[in-house]
Amino acid sequence: MQTKLWRELLTPYYAAVDELMIKFNHITKTYYDSGKYSPIELVEGRVKKISSILEKAQKKNISIEEIEENIKDIAGIRIICQFVEDIVSVVEIIRNRDDMKVLEERDYVTHSKESGYRSYHLIIEYELYMIDVPKKIKVEIQIRTLAMNFWGIIEHSLQYKYRGKMPEHISTRLLAAADAILMLDKEMSSVRDEILDAQHYMRQTDSIISEILNNIQNLYGVANKREIEKIQDEFYSIYEKNDLDKLERFCDELDVIAEGYRAQSMQEEM
Residue 6: count other Cβ atoms within 10 Å of its Cβ: 13
Judged by the rule CB under 6 A, the positions of this chain that interact with ligand 0O2 are 48, 52, 56, 73, 106, 113, 115, 117, 121, 152, 155-156
Whichever of 86 and 155 has its CB closer to ligand 0O2, that residue is 155
* CB-nearer residue toward ligand 0O2: 134 or 164: 164
> Measured from the CB of residue 91, what is the shortest distance to ligand 0O2 in angstroms?
15
The CA distances from residue 73 to 20, 39, 49, 122, 218, in Å, are: 14, 23, 11, 10, 51
CA dist 99 and 156 (Å) reads 31
CA angle, 113 then 117 then 121, to 5°: 85
Q: Min. distance of Cβ 149 from ligand 0O2 in angstroms?
A: 10
- Strand-pair category, 75-81 with 134-145: parallel
82 phi and psi, to 5 degrees?
-80, -45
Residue 98: CB minimum distance to ligand 0O2, A? 25
Cβ closest to ligand 0O2, residue 62 vs residue 251 = 62
- Give me the least distance between CB of 164 and ligand 0O2, in Å please: 11
DSSP 114: T
**CB nearer ligand 0O2, residue 48 or residue 138:** 48
